[in-house]
Amino acid sequence: MVISRVSSVVVTDLHGIGGHEHGHHQHGHHEHHHPMTVGSVRSMLREAGLRPTRQRLALAEILYAKGNRHVSAEQLHEEALTARVPVSLATVYNTLHQFTEAGLLREVAVDGTKTYFDTNTSDHHHFFIETANSVIDIPGDGLVIGDLPAPPEDMEIVRVDVVVRVRPKQR
Ligand SMILES: [Zn+2]
């Protein structure tokens, strides 16, 4: 693989800017132990303040059954249909966003149009494989962030997300 370009350094959620429309602000400090059983998925939802409805349970089981991974809404929708979970793409989207707001998932936005949901909510960065439309983790010590800009007045930096775009080497 070659690095085609480093696409984005996103400084998110600067203190003072983030909306306050959501009651809970759990900023991704959940560490899960994978794979999860049905019972642990249920208690994970409860602890995150989400009622364990049948649809949420079914989607969470599919999401967290395979260890840490990155899925798009479309991909999860297809997996749900394959597992005979009758659910619409819109419901999958809503559920993924509810899980994200509750701190159970981390959103990885590659472009405006491509969003992946990461079951690993700890701080880490990603390779985006352009030809495969998939994201994988950059190993923990694989990226060093240099000097960051001073944040705007009265704000603090919460997190830096880096997406490094790669593709197979071209001859
Ligand atoms: Zn990741």
What's the mean pLDDT in 127-142?
A: 89
- List beta partners, residue 166: 3, 129
Q: For residue 85, give Cα distances in angstroms to 57, 80, 150.
A: 11, 5, 48
What is the model's pLDDT at position 13?
43
Q: pLDDT per residue over 51-95, tens digit each? A: 999 999 999 999 998 888 999 999 999 999 999 999 999 999 999
Q: Which residues neighbour ligand 1 (ion) by CB within 5 Å?
A: 118, 120, 137
**Residue corresponding to tokens 């593709």:** 167
CB 63 within 8 A of CB 76: yes
Q: How far is the CA of 69 from the centre of ligand 1 (A)?
A: 7
Q: What is the pTM of this model?
A: 0.74
- Percent of the chain predicted with pLDDT > 70: 80
Cα dihedral 98, 103, 105, 111, rounded to 10, equals 80
What is the model's pLDDT at position 60?
96
Q: How far is the CA of 122 from the centre of ligand 1 (A)?
A: 8
Q: How far is the CA of 49 from the centre of ligand 1 (A)?
A: 23
Q: For residue 12, give Cα distances in angstroms to 7, 18, 34.
A: 15, 9, 27
**Structural domains of the chain, ranges and CATH numbers in brackets:** 2-20+30-167 (1.10.10.10)
